[in-house]
Each structure stands twice: as C-alpha cells, then as structure tokens.
Structure 1
Amino acid sequence: MGKIIAICTSDVRGVQKQPRDTAWLDQDWGIRGDAHAGHWHRQVSLLSAEEIAAFNEKGAGVQPGAFGENLVVEGIGLRRLPVGTLLGCGDAVLEITQIGKECHSHCAIYHKMGDCIMPREGVFARVITGGQIAVGGEIHVLPRTAPFPFQAVVITLSDRCAAGEREDKSGPAVAKRLTEAGYVVVEQLLLADEREPLERTLIRLCDQRQLDLILTTGGTGFAPRDITPEATRAVAERDAPGIAEAIRAASLRITPRAMLSRAASVIRGKTLIINLPGSPKACMESMDVFLDQLPHALALLRGTPQDCGR
C-alpha cells in the first residue's frame, strides 16, 4: 500500500509541472488538462518519493513536478513493478506500460547535477478506469483476474519505404496476422536500414516497454545496407537460433534463395525478437512456421509454468 503525496500537471510539455490537490483521471486519456494526456501509452507518469528524496540528498533540491512527473508516490517501489501491473487509485485504475524513458535532450536538472533520475526511475501508465484522485489518497497494486494478452511490435526496415518512395506492405500484413492471432500490436514502426537507430529502438522496446514479441521485416539479405541481423544480435542477451533455422528450412522447400537469408532470432530480457524477410508473401510463409509455437515460448519467457514434457 502506498500514498499519493503529490499530483502535478502542466498545460504544455517540456516544462516543470505544478502541484495541485486533486485531479481527474480520464479513461484512455490521462489527467484531465495535462499536456501529456492523449491516446498513447504514456498517459500518466509516476516517480517514487523515496527516489526523489535520495536524489535531493545529493544537493539537487528539486520539488514535485520538477522531472515532469504527474504523480509522486510514497511506499511503493514503482521501478521494481513489471509492465502490465495494475495500480488502484481510489476508483481509478492505471496499467503500467513502460519503465524508464529515453532522454533525447538533457534537462536543467541534468545540467546542474550531471544526472537525472527520470530516464531510469520514471514509470509510465495508461488509464484503464477513470476517477478522481487526491493528494493523500491511497495507491496499491491490484491483482489481475487473468493474464494480459501478449504484446508485440512490428518494425519494417526499408530505406525506400522510410523515404516515402514505396508503400510498406509487409509491416501491416505482419501486424494484421498477429492481431488475428490474438496479439496486441502496440506499435508499428518504419525505419531506414540504419544499424544504430534499430539497436536503440530494440533496446527501448525490450527494456522499457518489456514487450513479449518483436517481429522485424526486411534487411536480412546480402545487400550492403541489410543490417537487421547485426543489430538484432548486438542487443541480444540469449540466442534462440531454432526459430530462424526452422524458417530457413521451410523456406528452402519453396525457393533455393532462402539459403541467402541471414535472419536471426534472439532473446533480450523477456522479449523474443525474430527477423522476417522483406516481402509480404515471405513474411506470411515464415509466420506459418512458428506462429503456433509462440504462445508456449512467450509464456516461458514471462515465467509462466508450462508443461514441456509433451
């Protein structure tokens, strides 16, 4: 059980938020009147009061709202809660969607202290059930009545598609197939064939959003700018070669050019990353190989007990 010790909002982004005594959480939107509210996954930001106090002991002298956080919470180790955790705040319910954030430009606090806790300690949530919240109100972790569905991201790697010279057909086809199979596709991304941006994106999705599955399409061949396997392996913590090998073996029965695929399949944290080919047809053929086996694999990554003796 924890307590809300500060509620902070602002009319615009990128500024310190100001404290208020009460606020309304609107379903699938955020805090009414706050600049960060909207139909996205970071509707409400939270920080632990204990982390702010520890930072202030170093001479930071920051007040609630200084990091752009909406809620300062005492008594709950927010950073240790996994994505998908439900938090009850009075009648309102929040679902944690992201842990930490990428810092694109250093804030005034960083320039003063040489550090900022928001990128690593900030917790982000979306509003499942709306309601009023107030300073001094209780906040607590709620049990889930059922496991939340597997969450996935689809990333298309293509210079021409990213430049608007060609329509991306593979990414939407992969996302549609996943949705039909019961997955929640939380992001669809289109990137140029650049290794560093892909690595940063994979790390963000695995570490901060803690997704179950990432499927990439494109960039797995012999062309000089086909860098998807290299970027994928660079962020990997464990190898999962059997999936990529099974795709190649099945694809070889369709075309001998399948031997030219350099696609990888790896694990980072609790996220499975699988490289798919660039064409929509080849993507569907590849998904035919492994889609039925994914629920078992992803459940194991989540730590859900499974019967592996069959």
Structure 2
Amino acid sequence: MGKIIAVCTSETRGVQKQSRKEALLEKDWGIRGDAHAGHWHRQVSLLSAEEVAAFNAKGADVRSGAFGENLVVEGIDFRSLPVGTLLRCGDVLLELTQIGKECHHHCAIYEKMGDCIMPREGVFARVLAGGQISAGDEMTVEPRTAPLPYQAAVVTLSDRCASGEREDKSGPLVAARLAAAGFVVVEQLVRPDERELLERSLIRLCDQRQLDLILTTGGTGFAPRDITPEATRAVAERDAPGIAEAIRAASMRITPRAMLSRAAAVIRGKTLIINLPGSPRACMEGMDVFLDQLPHALDLLRGMPQDCGR
C-alpha cells in the first residue's frame, strides 16, 4: 500500500509541474488541465517518493513536480512493477503502460546534478477509471482478474516510406492481421533503414513498453541499406532461430529467392522480435508459418506454466 504525497500538473509541456491540493482524472485522458493528458499511453506519470528523497540526499534539492511527474507516491516501488500493473486510488484505476523514458535533451536538474532520475525511475499509466484524487490518498496495487492481452508493435523499415515517397502497405496489413488474432497493437512505426535508429526503437519497445511481440517488415535482403537483421541481433539477449528458419523453409516452396532472406528472430527480455520481408504478400505468407504458435511462445516468455508435450 502506498500514499500519494503530491499531485502535480502543468498547462504546458517541458516545464516543471506545480503541486495541487487535488486533481480530477478523466478516463482515457489523464488529469484535467494537465498538458500531458490525451488519448495516448502516457496520460499520467508517477515517481516513488523514496527515489526523490534519495536523489535530494545527494544535494539535488528538488520539490514535487520538478521532474515533470504528476503523482509522487510513498511506499510503492514503481520501477519494480511490470507493464499492465493496475493501481487503485479510490474510484481511480490506472494501468501502467511504460517503465522509464527516453531523455531527448538534458533538463535543468541534469545540468546541475549530472543525473536525472525520471528517465529510469519514472513510470507512466493510462486512466481506466476516473475520479478525484488528493495528496494523502491511499494507492494500492490491484490484482488483475484476467491476463493482460498480448501487446505488439509493428515497425516498417523503408527509406522511401519514411520519407513519404511511398505508402507503407505492409505495416498496416501486419497490424490488422495481429489485431484479428487478438493482439493489441500499441504502436505502428515507420523508420528509415538506419541501424542505430532501429536499435533504439527496439530497445524502447522491449524495455520500456515491455511488449510481448515486435514484428518488423523490410530491410532483410542483400541491399547495402538492408540492416534490419543486424540491428535486431544487436539488441538480442537470446536467439530464436527456428522461427526464421521455418519462414525461409516455407517460402522456399513458393520462390527460390527465399534463400536470400537474412531475417532473424530473437528474444530481448520477455519480448519476441521477428523480422518479416518487405512485400505485403510475403509478410502474410511469413505470418502463416508462425502466427498460431505465438500464444504458446509468448506465454512461456511471460513465465506462465506450459505443458510442452505433444
């Protein structure tokens, strides 16, 4: 059980938030009047009061809201909780959607201290049920009554699609197929064939959003800028070669050019990453190979007991 120490808001982004006595949280929006509210996954930001106190002990001397956080809560180690955790505060129900964040530019706190805790300790949530909250209110972790639906992202790799020269047809098709299979597709990205950019995107989706599955499309061939397999392997913690091998084997029955595919399948944390080809038809043929096997694979990654016998 935790206790809300401070409720903070700001009308504009990129500035420190101000403490309020209370705030109204609106379903699928966030805190009324706060600049970060909206129809997205980072509606409310939270920090553990213990982390703020430890940082201040180093001489930071920051007040509540200085990191841009909405809620400072005592007694809950947010960083240890997985995405999908439910937090109850009276009528308000929050669902954690992201752990940590990317720091695109150094804030005044970092300039002073050479460090900032928000990128690694801050967490983000969306509002499932709204209501009024105030400093001093209790917050508890509420058990889920049903497993979190499988969450996925689709990343299209194409210089021409990223520049707007060509329409991305493969990404939306892959996302629609996943949605029809019961997945919640939380992000669809289009990126140029840049290895460092893809690596950063994969790391964020795996570590911060803690997705079950990431499917990439494009960049798996012999062309000089086909870097998807290299970026995928660079972020991997474990290999999952059977999936890529099965796709190539099935594709060889369709076209001998399947032998030119360098696609990879890997695991980072609890996330499975699979490379698909660039063409819409080839993406669907590849998904035909593994889609019905994903629930078993993803449940294993989630640590759910499974009977692997035939």
> If the length of structure 1 is used for normalisation, what is the TM-score?
1.00
Q: How does 1:31-50 map to 2 (within 5 A)?
A: 31-50=31-50
Paired letter, 2:81: L
SS at match of 2:39: coil
Q: By how many angstroms is 1:130 displaced?
A: 0.6
Q: By how many angstroms is 1:309 displaced?
A: 1.4
Paired letter, 1:6: A
Q: By how many angstroms is 1:27 displaced?
A: 0.3
Aligned to 1:6: 6
Give the Cα separation in 2 of the matches to 1:33 and 1:16. 14
Aligned to 2:80: 80
1:213 aligns with 2:213: yes
Aligned to 1:275: 275
Unpaired runs of 5+ in structure 1?
none
SS at match of 1:204: helix
1:255 aligns with 2:255: yes
Aligned to 1:133: 133
Q: How does 1:153-172 map to 2 (within 5 A)?
A: 153-172=153-172
Aligned to 2:104: 104
Paired letter, 1:93: L
Aligned to 1:226: 226
Aligned to 2:308: 308
Deviations 1:153-176 (A, max 9, x none): 000000011111111000000000
Give the Cα separation in 2 of the matches to 1:161 and 1:111. 37
Paired letter, 1:55: F
Paired letter, 2:38: G
SS at match of 1:109: helix
Give the Cα separation in 1 of the matches to 2:278 and 2:168. 10
Identity %: 83
Q: By how many angstroms is 1:269 displaced?
A: 0.3
Give the Cα separation in 2 of the matches to 1:90 and 1:135. 12
Q: State the 4+ residue runs in structure 1 displaced beyond 3 angstroms.
A: none
> If the length of structure 2 is used for normalisation, what is the TM-score?
1.00
1:187 aligns with 2:187: yes
Give the Cα separation in 2 of the matches to 1:160 and 1:76. 46
Paired letter, 1:229: P
State the Cα RMSD in Å: 0.4
Paired letter, 1:174: V
SS at match of 2:64: coil
Q: By how many angstroms is 1:306 displaced?
A: 1.0
Deviations 1:233-291 (A, max 9, x none): 00000000000000000000000000000000000000000000000000000000000
Unpaired runs of 5+ in structure 2?
none
Deviations 1:36-83 (A, max 9, x none): 000000000000000000000000000000000000000011110000
